[in-house]
Amino acid sequence: MIVDVHTHAPHPIPDLDPNADINVMMRPGHARPANYTEDDYLAGIAGVDKALVFNIAAHPGGQREPYLEHLIYSAHDVNDDVAALVRAHPDKLIGFMSVHPLDPKAADEIDRAYYDLGLRGIKLAPNYQNFDPLGEEAFRVYRRAQELGLPILFHQGTSPMRFGDLDWAHPRHMDRVATAFPDLKIVMAHMGHPWQVDCAVVIRKHPNVYADISGLFIRPWSQYNALRLATEWGVMHKLLFASDYPVATSQETIDACRSVNDVVEGTRLPRVPEDAIEALIHRDSLDLLGLG
């Protein structure tokens, strides 16, 4: 079985130019419609057996963030939309909720999304949502997640969004989070790019902390180095397969994993072991995250 642990649900963006594309900054040269459809989404994850799906809750009040135009929906609306998508495709999809830690109703929304909607994890993005991942409000969310057994997938690493705080997305912060909440299952997205070595030492240290590989292949030399670092630090088994659809499709990511050594073909540089790549692609991420 192949599990994609990082996909974004389709959602309409009001008042958007119908010709607007995504990936303009994330992945130049691979534009896709910003208002992609459910059919687009399902085609994008056709290469996997299961997918975790979510979106990102806006700041309390739902106001539009100046650095992320599509981050406009309240947690309530985001979670309702994701739950509806999962209900339509229950054999393929597992839904994660999103909340904003600065929302005074965040705890209530976690309970509603878990008990009423059946969502089974949480997606957070400190730099996009503009909150301190080590702040008191964030720790309240982590505490409730640990109590309910909900894994949290964090956006980790860089972003081209001008006003997104890069430091709040640095993987070193997850060391303190994991120390404070040792039973909380954590996934650091994108292997914390470009801080992959920092990510590797955090996932090596903490049994319940993992990283996903979404987006790494967009920069082939960086992908090779990231997976070599994971090999040398002995943490390939802590990496989870992920695409970050719509930035990339699941099948694109599978193909790129299998061609990771192409950039060193004809050199004496060490290769990423092919058996480790296949193990990564077929890893039982659901079992590791308590979602099996």
211-255 residue pLDDT tens: 999 999 999 999 999 999 999 999 999 999 999 999 999 999 999
pLDDT tens-digit series, residues 89-128: 999 999 999 999 999 999 999 999 999 999 999 999 999 8
Tell me the mean pLDDT in the region 140-165: 92
pLDDT at 19: 63
Judged against a pLDDT cut of 50, whether residue 67 lies above it is answered with no
Q: Determine the structural domain holding residue 36 and report its residue range.
A: 3-288
Cross-strand bridge partners of residue 188:
154, 211
Helix/strand/coil for 271: coil
pLDDT at 189: 98
Tell me the mean pLDDT in the region 37-65: 87
Looking at the chain, the whole-number percentage of residues with pLDDT higher than 70 is 90
What integer best gives the mean pLDDT of the chain? 92
Q: Which two tokens stand for residue 105?
A: 């109703």
CATH number of residue 175's parent domain: 3.20.20.140
pLDDT at 188: 98
pLDDT tens-digit series, residues 162-194: 777 899 999 999 999 999 999 999 999 999 999
Look at 33-42, 44-53, 123-132 and tell me which has the smallest mean pLDDT.
33-42
pLDDT at 66: 47
Q: Which two tokens stand for residue 285?
A: 């991420």
Tell me the mean pLDDT in the region 42-46: 97
Question: Which residues are CB-contacts of 272 (< 8 A; sequence separation ≥ 6)?
Answer: 224, 227, 228, 231, 260, 261
DSSP track, 82-127: HHHHHHHSTTTEEE-EE--TTSTTHHHHHHIIIIIT----EEE-HH
Helix axis angle, 250-258 to 274-281, nearest 10°: 160
Cross-strand bridge partners of residue 95:
53
Helix/strand/coil for 164: coil
pLDDT band at 21 (very low <50, low <70, confident <90, very high): low
pLDDT tens-digit series, residues 244-281: 999 999 999 999 999 999 999 999 999 999 999 999 99
Q: Write down the residue that tokens 């480790």 correspond to.
A: 276
Find the radius of gyration of the CA atoms of the chain.
18
Q: How many domains does the chain have?
A: 1
Judged against a pLDDT cut of 80, whether residue 200 lies above it is answered with yes
Compare 159 and 237 and report the one with higher pLDDT. 237
